[in-house]
Amino acid sequence: MTALPLVFDAPRRGMPPRHLADLTREEARAAVTELGHPPFRADQLARHYYRGVTDPADMTDVPAAARGTLAEALLPGLLTVVRHQTADNGRTRKTLWRLHDGALVESVLMRYPDRATVCISSQAGCGMACPFCATGQAGLTRNLSAAEIIGQAVAAAAAMANGELDGGPGRLSNVVFMGMGEPLANYARVRKTLDALLTPAPHGLGLSQRSVTVSTVGLVPAIRRLTEEGRNVTLAVSLHAPDDELRDTLVPINTRWKVGEVVDAADAYAKKTGRRYSVEYALIRDINDQPFRADLLGKLLAGKLAHVNLIPLNPTPGSIWDASPLPAQREFVARLRAAGVATTVRDTRGQDIDGACGQLAASEDVGVPTVALPTPQLEPTVPLGAEADE
């Protein structure tokens, strides 16, 4: 496994044109006014955008003569479908998106009996260099704009509403920032995205705070900042080791902020929001799955407002590591529970389409059993997926 450098500052090139979703309501109204139209047109455009309407011709409450200019100025197409792959009997769908500069990102929509969750990307690539993660191994291309992040959730909401996933029309209920990238390394844009997800129509998707999860490797100052924002979304911390010695190698950011500091910051978040945080822990055979590490983790988290989500390692190209065998998983769970720590093992969706945790690499190369789609439009084809929350 090659050690990659940590990269915090994304290259500045390649940011997309301005989009309505990058703007506050006031900014959007000002932009519309500048174009010579009454400010309420901004609300009309927003309503269409968040409902997934992309063709100006369908915006019939806007005068036909104004639609073209307004859409061109404020609703540039930022995300183009390269292909969809489906898995899990059509209930998981991974989408590969091309951005305006050719950068590629992925999102994964997963339908469950009681909810639908989309896993979105916040960066093209990732600078955090975790050696077991396909995205981390590819390095950071650039930050996504707010509109590029929001657009993934809007597309998922529209896909659910239109019944594009097996099971008929439904509603997008959950968003997890567990796709490509480190959301807290692209803080300002992720913060804007949270606003768009939580704001009711017409200027947002109107999701509830607890159904939105921000997952981080543990950028402590950013966790503290998020704590002050008052957006009480669910926090997930990718811990993967209870001890600094091992975590320094599995999650290189640990060389900057240690296990104890990350857990302290998450505790402060839980205290402020009253919301339990998740501790993500990929179980890697003979690396971090030993009984003594389960005990250490149990001791670390006992009595805290935390919940452990164990993820049997998903395979990534070139990795020498694999998932812990079942008996080791069971032992790990049993020891955590004995320590009084709420623990679940994540049901991993869509491994066969490289859509599970840590497998998003956004390559146009199509792996073995995958079908490439022309370009636009939806069309389930092959399988995929991963899951997040509890």
Given the complex with ligand SAH, which of 146 and 178 has the nearer CB atom? Answer: 178
Given the complex with ligand SAH, which of 174 and 215 has the nearer CB atom? Answer: 215
Shortest gap between Cβ of 292 and ligand SAH (angstroms)? 21
| Residue at token pair 């694999």 | 322
Shortest gap between Cβ of 216 and ligand SAH (angstroms)? 5
Q: Are 353 and 85 in contact (CB under 8 A)?
A: yes
Given the complex with ligand SAH, which of 274 and 318 has the nearer CB atom? Answer: 318
Distance in angstroms (rounded) separating the CA atoms of residues 83 and 178? 20
Residue 106 among the catalytic residues: yes
Q: Maximum distance among all alpha carbons in the chain?
A: 69
Given the complex with ligand SAH, which of 22 and 182 has the nearer CB atom? Answer: 182
Shortest gap between Cβ of 163 and ligand SAH (angstroms)? 28
Shortest gap between Cβ of 328 and ligand SAH (angstroms)? 15
Q: Are 376 and 80 in contact (CB under 8 A)?
A: yes
Shortest gap between Cβ of 132 and ligand SAH (angstroms)? 5
Measured N-to-C along each axis, helices 64-74 and 40-50 cross at an angle, to the nearest 10 degrees, of: 70
Distance in angstroms (rounded) separating the CA atoms of residues 262 and 326? 29
Residue 357 among the catalytic residues: yes
Shortest gap between Cβ of 236 and ligand SAH (angstroms)? 6
Q: Are 312 and 341 in contact (CB under 8 A)?
A: no
Tokens of 132: 């077991």
- Nearest Cα neighbor of 382 from 95, 81, 62 is 95
Q: Is 62 helix (H, G, I), strand (E, B) or coil?
A: coil
DSSP-H helix ranges across the chain: 25-34, 40-50, 64-74, 134-138, 146-161, 187-198, 220-229, 244-250, 259-273, 291-301, 326-338
* Identified catalytic residue from 119, 126, 130, 357: 357
**Hey, what's the torsion of the CAs at 166, 172, 174, 177, to 10 degrees?**
90
* Identified catalytic residue from 106, 148, 164, 182: 106
Contacting positions for ligand SAH (CB under 6 A): 128, 132-133, 178, 182, 215-217, 238, 280, 282, 311, 313-314, 316, 357-358
- Nearest Cα neighbor of 241 from 228, 255, 231 is 255
- Catalytically annotated residues: 106, 357
